[in-house]
C-alpha cells in the first residue's frame, strides 16, 4: 500500500506540473491578432462522447476563452472502465428475456466520476470558413471510482429442487462463483447498485485535437490521445487475477457544443 501511494503521489505531481506549464506558456506567448484571429467569443460549453481502449465515458466542459488560440475549462465525466483481462462467456442459452452471457471471474464493475481542469492550446492558424485547426489538450483532476458488485445467476439445490439464485463473490461463495457448470449468466444491471464502494484516485489525459470550427460559433472537434487513471490502492475487479491500481488507455473523443 505504501508503494502504491508513492506512485499515486508522483503521478499526481507530474500531471499538475504539466498543466501549470501549459497554462503559463499559453499566457506568456503573445501572438499578434488580426481581425480574423481576434477574440470574438469569451465562453464555450461542450459535450464529450468518448470511447477508450477499455471502456467509454460521457463528459461535459465549461470553458473560458482567454485568447483566440488558448482556453481553459472545467471538466466532469462519467465512464465505465473494464479490466483488459475480462473475457465474456456465452452460454448460448436464454434466461428470462436475455442471453446468459457473463464475464468469468469478474468481482466488481468499475464506474468512474472524473472532475478536473483542462487547457486547450491551438498550434495552427485557420481561416473563418476553411481549414482545420490543430490543438493540444490536457486535463487532470480528481477521480472517484465506484465499485458495484458483479452478480451471477447460478444453480443451487434447495429442498431437493434446483433454484436459480443471484450471488456475488465472497470467500464463502468463491467455489460456486467460479464454477462454470453452475453459472447460468450475469444478473441484471440493477443488482448491486445499493452496495457501491468508493475507490478515490486521480486522472490525467493528453490529446491532439482537430477542430474545423475552432474560431466559429459551434464546437465540433475530434480528439485522439492517452489517459491515465491512478487509484489509491489496487482495484478489485477480477477475482481470479492480481489487480492493478493504474490503468492506461488510448481514447477517441467526439466533442460538440457552442461558444458565446
pLDDT over threshold 70, residue 108 = yes
pLDDT over threshold 60, residue 39 = no
pLDDT at position 211: 87
Instruction: Supply the pTM of this predicted model.
Output: 0.79
DSSP state of 194: G
The grid coordinates listed for 208 are: 491532439
What is the Cα 210 distance to its own chain's centre? 20
Distance, in Å, from the CA atom of 50 to the CA atom of 254, rounded to the nearest integer, reads 6
Q: Is the dihedral of CA 173, 177, 179, 183 positive or negative?
A: positive
What would the mean pLDDT of 64-75 be, rounded to a whole number?
92
Burial class of 175 by CB neighbour count within 10 A (0 to 12, 13 to 18, 19+): exposed
Distance, in Å, from the CA atom of 75 to the CA atom of 260, rounded to the nearest integer, reads 18
The grid coordinates listed for 221 are: 472537434
Domain ranges within the chain, ordered by starting residue:
2-27+48-259
pLDDT tens for 200-227 read: 999 999 999 998 866 788 888 999 999 9
Average pLDDT of the chain is: 84
pLDDT band at 240; cut points 50, 70, 90? confident
pLDDT at position 227: 97
Strand partners, 223: 209, 253
pLDDT band at 126; cut points 50, 70, 90? low
Q: How many CB atoms lie within 10 A of CB 67?
A: 17
Amino acid at each position: 500500500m505504501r508503494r502504491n501511494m508513492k506512485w499515486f503521489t508522483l503521478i499526481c505531481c507530474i500531471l499538475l506540473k504539466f498543466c501549470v506549464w501549459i497554462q503559463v506558456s499559453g499566457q506568456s506567448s503573445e501572438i499578434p491578432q488580426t481581425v480574423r484571429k481576434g477574440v470574438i467569443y469569451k465562453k464555450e460549453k461542450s459535450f464529450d462522447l468518448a470511447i477508450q481502449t477499455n471502456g467509454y465515458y460521457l463528459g461535459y466542459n465549461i470553458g473560458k476563452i482567454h485568447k483566440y488560440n488558448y482556453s481553459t475549462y472545467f471538466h466532469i465525466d462519467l465512464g465505465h472502465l473494464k479490466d483488459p483481462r475480462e473475457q465474456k462467456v456465452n452460454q448460448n442459452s436464454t434466461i428470462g428475456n436475455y442471453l446468459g452471457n457473463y464475464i468469468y471471474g469478474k468481482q466488481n464493475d468499475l464506474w468512474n466520476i472524473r472532475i478536473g481542469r483542462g487547457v486547450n492550446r491551438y498550434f495552427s492558424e485557420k481561416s473563418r470558413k476553411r481549414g482545420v485547426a490543430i490543438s493540444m489538450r490536457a486535463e487532470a483532476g480528481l477521480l472517484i471510482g465506484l465499485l458495484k458488485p458483479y452478480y451471477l445467476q447460478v444453480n443451487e439445490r434447495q429442498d431437493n429442487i434446483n433454484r436459480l439464485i443471484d450471488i456475488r463473490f465472497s470467500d464463502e461463495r468463491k467455489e460456486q462463483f467460479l464454477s462454470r457448470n453452475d453459472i447460468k449468466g450475469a444478473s441484471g444491471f440493477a443488482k448491486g447498485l445499493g452496495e457501491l464502494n468508493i475507490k478515490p484516485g486521480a486522472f490525467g489525459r493528453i490529446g491532439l485535437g482537430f477542430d474545423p470550427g475552432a474560431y466559429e460559433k459551434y464546437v465540433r472537434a475530434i480528439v485522439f490521445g492517452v489517459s491515465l487513471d491512478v487509484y489509491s490502492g489496487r482495484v478489485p475487479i477480477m477475482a481470479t487475477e492480481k489487480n492493478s491500481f493504474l490503468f492506461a488507455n488510448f481514447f477517441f473523443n467526439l466533442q460538440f457544443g457552442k461558444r458565446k
